[in-house]
Amino acid sequence: MNGILRLASAGDLHCTKDAQGTLAPLLAEMAAAADVIALCGDLTDYGLPDEAHVLAGELRGVHADVVAVLGNHDFESGHAAEVSDILREAGVRVLDGDAAEIGGVGFAGTKGFAGGFGPSALGPWGEGAIKAFVQEAVDEAMKLESALARLRTEQKVVVLHYAPIAGTVVGEPEQIYAFLGSSRLEDPIDRLGATAVVHGHAHHGSLEGATRGGVPVYNVSIPLLRRTGGTTFRVLELSADPVASEQIM
């Protein structure tokens, strides 16, 4: 790595039961361009074990470390734990409030959740269903905080599915911003420090933004990357310098 760790990130693979042979070329290209691959949720289309087995097969022969978080699609059928287990058996480090250190760079990951941003964020008031919804966002933020707190590396990359800022969902209809992410995720990122954040989910959002504290945030949703530049993943180069330089592949 010569003091540089290259990270290739992409979200929203939406692997289906019939996707055999379609994702392997992308994953091989990511592995050729980087030392570590980060997959930012919606790994499967309906959260089915059969879909996870297909993705595990597509990952065979990928010569790079792989970290991942689940997305909302991976929960659709109620088999999220099994999906995670299948991918872990294939060598993927599925992060759910967990931290990992690879090549001297720390990775903290969780799915995240919805709820909105800044003054428009949903508060825990009224019906029990609303309070439970907000508590899910709080719980995900706490998981991210716990993961970041365990890292002792100078450089820390946060891997999410949902957006932690409004800046990278701009381009989506404003009416659905609240379902695309939560600024509750932004607080631990700024307070505990991160070099960069990668996430997916907002297929029609914006490529990049920054937290209030200046941490760069990259939306690496594959549909967005393809539509805006014909690319399929983003590469960050991480060195001893806490500032990440980036390029698009």
**pLDDT of 36-95, one tens digit each?**
999 999 999 999 999 999 999 999 989 999 999 999 999 999 999 999 999 999 999 999
pLDDT level of residue 239 (50, 70, 90 thresholds): confident
pLDDT level of residue 2 (50, 70, 90 thresholds): low
CA distance 1 to 218: 23
Give the chain's domains with CATH numbers: 5-248 (3.60.21.10)
Q: Do 43 and 68 touch, CB atoms closer than 8 A? A: yes
Q: Do 42 and 200 touch, CB atoms closer than 8 A? A: yes
pLDDT of res. 249: 44
CA distance 26 to 23: 5
List all residues 6 or more positions away from 170 whose beta carbon is below 8 Å from its beta carbon.
205, 206, 209
pLDDT of res. 61: 84
pLDDT of res. 209: 98
CA distance 134 to 178: 11
Count, in order, helices (H) and strands (E) of the chain: 6, 12
**pLDDT of 175-224, one tens digit each?**
999 999 999 999 999 999 999 999 999 999 999 999 999 999 999 999 99
pTM (whole model) above 0.85: yes
